[in-house]
Chain A
Amino acid sequence: MARLGMVIDLKRCVGCNACTVACKSENGTPPDIFFTRVLEQVAGQYPIVKKKYIPVLCNHCLDAPCVRVCPTGATYKRENGIVLVDYTKCIGCKACVVACPYNNRTLMPKGKLKEGHFKNHLTPYEQVKYKDFYEGVVVKCTFCYHRVDQGLEPACVNTCPAGARVFGDLHDPESEVSRLIRQRGGMQPMSEANTNPSVYYLE
């Protein structure tokens, strides 16, 4: 069985945030809700300064604490490794938000879907997109499973101008993701959390 995952090449990423907007636009997330972001990390003192751009998203962990702690079974794992939230079962208790060591889950607060990016006005685009959401539930990156099911790459991968995001089957040794992890020494984020993420980073 496939285990879908992503490799993020930090050497390639230029912090342009095309992924951030691709995700917003594909998933139609309301204001201030992001399924993926690009963090900026600055270290050192002038003039010896290093700045890194680090894209983050749900890691779709194999041993996902969010699945473990969910009291209603709303958070579940598909056979292909994608972790999803069933909005009809989610009660918004936020146990998963606390359990996620990566801070990649967000509560969709009450009233959020009325707000709109232009304040008290929902564009035709938002009217369509918001039909897919519930208020009072926890939301997060879905690895664009609706695209993946159609044989497409997740939106962030599709647009990334730098080619910094690669998507594929971690179980297939011949896949691009497996090859990159092998050849470039892919690292899972916060390995000490023992969650076995499906997202790997290349330095």
Chain B
Amino acid sequence: MAKVATHTKSGDKWVRSACKMCLHGCGIKVRVKDGVILKIEGDPDNANNMGKLCPKGQSGIMRHYDPNRIKTPVRRTNPQKGPGVDPKWEPISWNEALDIVGKRLKKIRSEDPRKLLVAINDFQRIHLWGWGAAFGTGHYFNTVGQFCGAAYHPFCGFFDGSFACANDYKYCNYWIQIGGGDGFGAHLHLSGSIKRMADARVNRGLKLIGVDPRMASYCAKADEWVPIIPGTDRAFILGMVYVILYELDRYDAEFIKKYTNGPYLIKPDGRYFRDKETQKPMVWDSVDNRAKVYDDPTIKDFTLEGYFKIDGIKVRPGFQVIKDTLKDHTPERMSKICDVSPGTMRRIAREFVEEARIGSTIMIEGKEYPYRPAAINFYRGAIGHYDGTLDHAAIKLMNSLVGNIDVPGGHLGVGLDHRLLIVEPGEDGMLKPQPHILHPGVPFAYPPQTLQMIEYFPMGLDPGHLVCHNILHPEEWGFDFKPEAALIFHSNPLKNINGYPKVLEVFKQLEFIVAIDILANESTEWADIILPDHDYLESTMLTLCEPPEVTGHTLRKPVVEPLYDSRDGHDILTDISERCGCLNELNGLLNFTMFIKPEYALKPGRKYSHLECIDRMAKSIYGEHMGLKWFQENNNAVRPQKPEECYLPWKGNRISFYHEYFLQVAEELQEQFRAVGREWDTSSYLAVPVWREEHPLHKIPGEYDLYAINFKAEAMLNHCENTTIPWIKELVSNIPIHKGVLINTKTAQAKGIKTGDRISIESPFGKVEGLARVIEEIHPRVIGISNAITRWTIHPVERKMNVNFNHLLPGNLEFTDLASGHQETATKVRISKI
């Protein structure tokens, strides 16, 4: 018998569980033989990923067996701290470690809990994110929303009660994708999305337009790549909106009339024109030729265009306001901003409208729906900018114009969890805005109580990149406390937060850092105590996070016994809470964040294990018979979404077409600031997205002649810090775009730069060095930096190329979208050969 790779079946078992190599949670099956993990595959019995698994998910073995894992609680013995400095950790017992942490945090809590910075970012344990609130501190010491979607999630929630969005893989035929990797390299449940997209492209002939400054994998696979200047996607979109409104004059009037506030009459001040008696917004009935309240049953036809005078007040429908506002957004003018030709904008706009098949319908499970198989999808690249809210609004506007919102073939909202889209009646016949799906809105306060100033972003997500600036300049906003400690739980603020010099200074000033994780990273290398968590192959969690098309939880369960003296991170936080006196508050928080019903509620004065919490969570969501035990036996409750859950889900409430709500929020915010004698710029709270010349990115002086972007949207990288995994390191080491700083051939020639040259990259805010990689597939005015070359941890596997993009960003309010809190994620630089 030839000696070749053989595998005997004896002693083998396959254990079904859930992945955690990114934030999502595909179903997996894990082969264990004699206690050793030998393989991880996709679980074919999970409707989410259908047996498929991306390279990260399969690499979990190499993270599990990483000899650099934290094996026991450790205490720092080297008082010196700094990048690359060996902490010289020594093992200590759990009791000793927890006592040190508990004592320190208890003292802080009794003096002023705001002196603790909290960075909790385990995406599969979002229920723990609010732990700071239980402790008494509201700081968000990280920036996950900034590289994901402060301008993404809250606007989704405002718009249709969703948390995220994606086009309809099942029925879409014409898909424009801008700055996002859905279906190719990144974003919602990658493995299943790649499969759905590949089936649509190959089986159904879906046409794809990829818009991106560099040729990301989705652009490589697109029928057409449209290179664009970073931070100008809105100009591209609005140029096409102009074409639709003024040149093609084709849009879905019926959709806008029936399902949106497009027909509501607007006064010159931008606000609704209301009926004197009922205070309801009014519309114009073109048949009876008079104004009526929007829900008057006698309305024969809603008017979208025209100008009217009622009681001496000039009014026009929201649709007309949008059309008038955008009358100067011609493709010619927009082209000068975004560097996409007017001809391309006109052609794509025409194709988009034609492919949307306005007026057509489709029967699904016996019910007729509008059928609009053309849609624009996007992610961080398109909206991660100053005025990102307006970028998002522009994309939603173009989708709304063809009536493709939440209908088959179109642009669909995606829920964060089993709640799917959160559909509740709001005011004026509208859907209730849900901008705060991650945590409740934080009321206005002056001085602000949170260092990220979330109090001033009622339509935003915590702008964690402001934390360090405010710590270093407390006088600007009247902060009367100084953080002295940080708790870091599966998070890496030193690497992730932009404005690196400021973050570094804050790390130097912190007196005490406790970390909970499985491996050390750039931030936790500064920790005084590290408490080791189980990894995902050793622990239990009910997972679900933003799947498109499907819903329901998958159980992560221990596949093997823990390798080391670790504990479940949830239980560690519970122990810390007990020691610093906030256990009751934690129980109260978990009742809320784990959706625990009153009959299963965690009660004050008792400590609950994470398993008990998961059991109560499962029973609360699925009923008494489907607790933890059910999931341990059945693994998942994942099922396809029903048509009525994802199509036209608004239950008779209208969605926003003309965003009057933003004007209302801005007015309230202005009043609040006036009352405390401070000023705040709300000029970006607009009912209609426009191009604004105020954009500070494009005003960076001309000596910085190139735009700089970073990117993570490739399958082996997205949503995860995995370049310390040897298999991933091997992969990215062999892929040209991850080998250096990407520069277009012509630009490189003009600057005398060749592949492999060491170059300096300088923005107005910082400077880094890197190796040049000259390529064709990037815009000549842009350089690109892969996330695979940004790290510097002392972990021995990491490539340590340390072209940390965040050195180049400012981390300040000036470069922040004041409507959402999103940071500007691009910058401008000058480069030179060293």
Contact = CB atoms under 8 A, between A and B. Distances in A.
A125 B726 CA distance: 13
B217 interface: yes
A32 B734 CA distance: 10
B715 A16 contact: yes
A119 B225 contact: no
B195 A162 contact: yes
A15 B5 contact: no
A21 interface: yes
Contacts of B35: 124
Contacts of B202: 9, 11-12
Given A16-B55, A121-B67, A146 B61 contact: no
Contact of A14 (B66, B67, B217): B217
Given A37-B734, A84-B2, A161-B54, A16 B194 contact: yes
Interface string A2-24: 00000001011011111011101
A185 interface: no
Nearest to A118: B67
Interface stretch (A42-50, A61-69, A91-99, A102-110): A42-50
A86 interface: yes
B4 A21 contact: no
A191 B733 CA distance: 31
Contacts of A164: 198
Interface string A116-131: 0111010111111100
Interface residues of B, number: 72
B190 interface: yes
B354 interface: no
Contact of A40 (B36, B183, B192, B735): B735
B775 interface: yes
B352 to A, nearest CB: 20
Given A12-B201, A49-B215, A159 B58 contact: yes
B248 interface: no
B39 to A, nearest CB: 6
A16 B198 CA distance: 12
Contacts of A18: 52-55, 58, 191, 715
A169 to B, nearest CB: 22
A71 interface: no
Interface string A25-65: 11110011000010010101111011111000000000000
Interface string B741-754: 00011100000000
B45 interface: no
A173 interface: no
Contacts of B55: 16-18, 20-21
Contacts of B745: 45-46
Nearest to A52: B220
A127 B734 CA distance: 25
B65 A124 contact: yes
A88 B3 contact: yes
Of B65, B714, B745, most A-chain CB atoms within 10 Å: B65
A105 B4 CA distance: 15
Interface in B145-187: 183-185
B727 interface: yes
A86 B6 CA distance: 12
Given A11-B202, A24-B727, A84-B2, A44 B776 contact: yes
Nearest to B66: A118
A125 B777 contact: no
A46 B780 contact: yes
B59 A21 contact: yes
B746 A128 contact: no
A21 B727 contact: yes
Contact of A128 (B2, B38, B41): B38
Contact of B198 (A84, A88, A163): A163
Contacts of B734: 37
A76 B225 CA distance: 46
Contacts of B40: 25
Nearest to B736: A40
B51 interface: yes
B190 A161 contact: yes
A100 interface: no
A191 to B, nearest CB: 24
A183 B198 CA distance: 18
Nearest to A37: B734
Contact of A16 (B201, B217, B744): B217
B116 interface: no
Interface of B: 2-7, 9, 33, 35-42, 49, 51-55, 58-59, 61-62, 65-68, 183-185, 190-192, 194-195, 197-199, 201-202, 215, 217-218, 220-221, 225, 227, 714-716, 726-728, 730-731, 734-736, 744-746, 775-780, 796-797
15 contacts: A15-B217, A16-B217, A16-B716, A20-B731, A21-B58, A21-B731, A49-B225, A49-B777, A53-B220, A87-B4, A119-B796, A124-B36, A159-B42, A159-B58, A161-B54
Given A46-B777, A87-B4, 9 more contacts: A16-B714, A17-B55, A18-B58, A27-B5, A49-B777, A53-B217, A86-B4, A126-B65, A163-B198
Q: Which 10 pairs show the lowest CB-CB distances between chains A and B? A: A16-B715, A117-B726, A123-B65, A161-B194, A51-B220, A86-B2, A162-B198, A21-B55, A161-B52, A132-B5
Interface of A: 9, 11-12, 14-18, 20-22, 24-28, 31-32, 37, 40, 42, 44-47, 49-53, 76, 84-89, 117-119, 121, 123-129, 132-134, 142, 145-146, 150, 155, 158-164
